[in-house]
Structure 1
Amino acid sequence: MRLALGLAVLGMGLAGCGRAVDARAGAREAGFEAQFPPTGHLLEVGSTTIHAHVEGTGPDLILLHGASGNSRDFTFDLVDRLKDRYRVIAFDRPGLGWSDPIGAQTANPIAQAELLRAAADQLGVRDPIVLGHSYGGAVALAWAARAPSDTAALVIVSGATMPWPGDLTGWYAFIGTPLGDRVGPPLLTALAPLALGDAIMAGIFAPQPLPPGYADYIGVGLAVRRENYRANAAQISGLRPYLRVMAPLYPQLTLPVEILHGDQDTIVPAFVHAEPLARALPDAALTILPGQGHMPQHGDPQAIVDAIDRAAARAGLR
């Protein structure tokens, strides 16, 4: 909250410096984008560009990243562990990484799933296993709900999948206000040191350490672009109402689902999300990972690989 208040005061103080702030933000964005170009294909889905990183051969495996992230979270390490036996397709979700936002629907995980399914169709994807991490878990469930007969299995990792109690505070509450939307992203893009991103990532990974080389690879600069800030904040702030609509539909999903969650995850707690999700789904297997926080795809990647293989076997793909 102190960050939000500080930005508000700073924003009012810099009201006459808008052009300078925008110019500085634009220059930093251009530098970030040059430093972290797309690693895969840019697909045109209607009027929307979607970024897809594709590697490997075998059954189709879709990877959907979490909040503030992009497909580089998976290409850092996990894709290399899977591409020998799956065709792995890691998408940037709408509004993040190199994928365009979708206007008022950017915060809608169901609309995200529909758009990404259309992109997957362009790649000839058939009966995929769909893995979603964190916010991506909600998109994966929406994917299966909209195409239950064309989705082989789900793997939900640290998924934000159930309506949670309480309200968001601090940065996300502030950025959802008209003042926050106007002043927050430009000021942070223009002025925030990248070391702030490193500190935030360290908190997301806790209690595990940040993997060596991850901060340099993931492209923190992509996440601090103005429109990325806005899209990410809208998605996090707007997720819960969609989960209220989606959760009653979970018992209708009869496909195999592997659910993995760290017992030390304080960002998306297992007792709020993974455990009730496992009870709601007819064919779910829940694995609680001892000592793991919110990023087990890095803290215990073999557990994720094993869950994908189990899902493939349960779906008859292996």
Structure 2
Amino acid sequence: MTLPKLVASLVAATVVLGGCAAAVDTRASRREALAEQLYPPTGQLLQVNGRTVHAHVEGQGPDLVLIHGASGNTRDFTFKLVDQLKDRYRVIAFDRPGMGWSDDMGAEGLSPLVQADVLRAAADQLGVKNPLVLGHSYGGSVALAWGLRAPGDTAGLVIVSGASMPWPGGLGALNAVTASDFGGATIVPLLTAYVAPERTEPVVEAIFAPQAAPEGYAEYIGIGLSLRRDSFRTNAKQLSNLKPYLQLMMPNYAKLPMPVEIVHGTGDTIVPSKVHGEPLSKLIPGAHLTLLPDIGHMPQHVAAPAVIAAIDRAAARAGLR
């Protein structure tokens, strides 16, 4: 059963289980507790204005900040990429607000600009200076916001499969339902309570398509963390509210003064290169675009050498190497 069909069946189930909210809540709470036990924080828990921000830090060298995409967490980077970078960079991977082990920022946290401010404040606590900032997928919008907010203290940007431009159309019924107040109160608890992480493997495969997900990735990433009720709701709302912020940010991209490397797969159907990466490269003076033929949405895993080369180019262009 696909996830949209599963959601449809759960909509019907809300009628049947309308009097069983307590049972659903209890089961969802047990599933959340198990996910948190299996996938604890791997790094430091910092406090920014009374909210927790999770940062995984490894390595030595120029500072390199990594910002993950929708439904993700730092584990997307610690799966393999960090190990390939820590010999020459101090790598700081953050959980974005509301995801992984970082606290939600409420309505204001729906803005990539505010998310960037929060992560910059956390980076300040770690002594981060003039970093390279890499953002993948949704994290690409946060990386661009970081550059816009701190143009004089950002060495360079690396945008990987980044959501950077307003796109035509919407995001589909699943996101619309789970982002709504009704869906957040009814459908999301049912998903948390009854969708086992292993049943989401087809979703993981679809994110990697046309390539296959690396062996062990689905088990490592901690999908149960993303299935927690608060994380699920926050992710859906962040996605639903992203386009207006990109419309606000887009006219300012041309002002970005730092080196910008853009890496995008031509086979990406989730964040298509022709809608995002290619137009973005034309808006930023001096931006360098690397198009990866037939590569999908996850080049940091299936085409890691190209991503690492882009990081090294940005560092060289910024005079960090």
Q: CA deviation at 1:113?
A: 0.2
Which residue of structure 1 lines up, in the alignment, with residue 60 of structure 2?
A: 57
Q: CA deviation at 1:200?
A: 0.5
Q: CA deviation at 1:6?
A: 2.5
Which residue of structure 2 lines up, in the alignment, with residue 101 of structure 1?
A: 104
Taking the aligned partners of 2:78 and 2:293, their CA distance within structure 1 comes to 25
Q: CA deviation at 1:196?
A: 2.3
CA contact (8 A) 1:3 1:171 kept: no
TM-score by length of 1: 0.98
The match for 1:33 among 32, 36, 40 is: 36
Which residue of structure 2 lines up, in the alignment, with residue 161 of structure 1?
A: 164
User: What amino acid is aligned across from residue 106 of structure 1 in structure 2?
Assistant: G
Indicate the SS of the match to 1:16. coil
Instruction: Map 1:199-214; keep pairs closer than 5 Å.
Output: 199-214=202-217
Q: CA deviation at 1:15?
A: 1.2
Taking the aligned partners of 2:284 and 2:199, their CA distance within structure 1 comes to 39
Which residue of structure 2 lines up, in the alignment, with residue 187 of structure 1?
A: 190
Q: 1:112-171 CA deviation, whole Å, 9 max, x = no partner?
A: 000000000000000000000000000000000000000000000000000001122221
Which residue of structure 1 lines up, in the alignment, with residue 149 of structure 2?
A: 146
Taking the aligned partners of 2:88 and 2:166, their CA distance within structure 1 comes to 35
- 1:73 paired with 2:115, answer no
CA contact (8 A) 1:8 1:179 kept: no
Q: CA deviation at 1:7?
A: 2.4
Q: Say which is worse superposed, 169-178 or 50-59, in terms of deviation.
A: 169-178
Instruction: Map 1:262-273; keep pairs closer than 5 Å.
Output: 262-273=265-276
- 1:222 paired with 2:225, answer yes
Q: CA deviation at 1:199?
A: 1.1
CA contact (8 A) 1:130 1:140 kept: yes
Q: CA deviation at 1:181?
A: 1.2
- Identify if the C-alpha distance between structure 1 residues 280 and 104 changes in structure 2 by more than 3 Å, giving closer, same or farther: same
Question: Runs of 5+ in structure 1 lacking a partner?
Answer: none
- Computed over aligned residues only, the root mean square deviation of the Cα atoms, in angstroms, reads 0.9
% same residue: 60
Q: CA deviation at 1:184?
A: 1.5
CA contact (8 A) 1:134 1:268 kept: yes
CA contact (8 A) 1:3 1:170 kept: no
User: What amino acid is aligned across from residue 132 of structure 1 in structure 2?
Assistant: G
Q: 1:158-209 CA deviation, whole Å, 9 max, x = no partner?
A: 0000000112222101112222111121101100122222111000001111
Taking the aligned partners of 1:143 and 1:2, their CA distance within structure 2 comes to 38
- 1:292 paired with 2:258, answer no
User: What amino acid is aligned across from residue 80 of structure 2 in structure 1?
Assistant: D
Taking the aligned partners of 1:281 and 1:60, their CA distance within structure 2 comes to 23
User: What amino acid is aligned across from residue 254 of structure 2 in structure 1?
Assistant: P
User: What amino acid is aligned across from residue 222 of structure 2 in structure 1?
Assistant: G
CA contact (8 A) 1:206 1:294 kept: yes
Q: Give aligned pairs, total.
A: 318
